Amino acid sequence: MGQNSAIEWTEATWNPLTGCDKISPGCTHCYAERMSMRLKLMGQPDYRNGFELTLHPHALEIPLKWKKPQRIFVNSMSDLFHKDVPDDFIHQVFATMRKASWHRFQILTKRSDRLAALSDAIDWPPNVWQGVSVESAEYAYRIDHLRGTGARVRFLSIEPLLGPLSNLDLTNIQWVIIGGESGPGARPMREEWVIEIRDQCQRARVPFFFKQWGGVNKKKTGRELQGRTWDEMPAL
């Protein structure tokens, strides 16, 4: 948790909770699980429980101390809409985001059903971007759940892309991120899958961000698609 994040599409990370469990194929080689266990071995107090879901009330107001405006990825090491996170804690996270109006907060979930169930009860601040993970066509239903929320910016994180995604409905979607899986056991991502989604974004005039090809050595495979990088962001 902190400023100067290495994640290409954000600038900082904030983890008022840590830990999670696996619910779909995109979770198989979870980077957060690997990192959590490493931090536990290093004696980091917030990771004393390893990758078990753990709330950190002491961290709720950290973004208020960061005075420089930045994009902040909320719960890079967990999922805010995990079934075991109390509704009240979720509302406390949203209250902090509303107070820290100079930042832009990026929330990402695979639990789109709970997101949809809670959306009407959430007071959506204009500086909150809500996203869902869609790793394959089997999980495209998450997009419909996202579309029904009150978020001003709705985005798709197609990371890791595990198969083709044809005929995406990008209505009321403001941003799409694509990335290949990286690290041990990384599953390959085919170029034609990426190009097909990029082209759909262009036709729908939705900003497209290509994060990485991934692989065991993501630095070696790089970030270029057809000879250039793609770092488009939502127009606000």
Give the pTM.
Answer: 0.96
The CA-based angle 79-84-88, given to 5 degrees, is 90
Helix (H, G, I), strand (E, B) or coil at 124: coil
- Strands (DSSP E) found in the chain: 2-3, 12-14, 17-18, 54-55, 71-74, 104-109, 128-133, 153-158, 175-179, 208-212
Q: Which CATH class is domain 12-221?
A: alpha beta
Q: How many helices (H) and strands (E) does the chain have?
A: 7, 10
Distance between CA atoms of 156 and 162, rounded to whole angstroms?
A: 14
DSSP output for 33-80: HHHHHHHHHTT-GGGTTTTS-EE-GGGTTHHHH--S--EEEETTTB-T
DSSP output for 98-114: HH-TTSEEEEEES-HHH
Per-residue pLDDT of the chain (236 residues; tens, 9 = 90+): 577 899 999 999 999 999 999 999 999 999 999 999 999 999 999 999 999 999 999 999 999 999 999 999 999 999 999 999 999 999 999 999 999 999 999 999 999 999 999 999 999 999 999 999 999 999 999 999 999 999 999 999 999 999 999 999 999 999 999 999 999 999 999 999 999 999 999 999 999 999 999 999 999 999 999 999 999 999 87
Distance between CA atoms of 77 and 182, rounded to whole angstroms?
A: 16
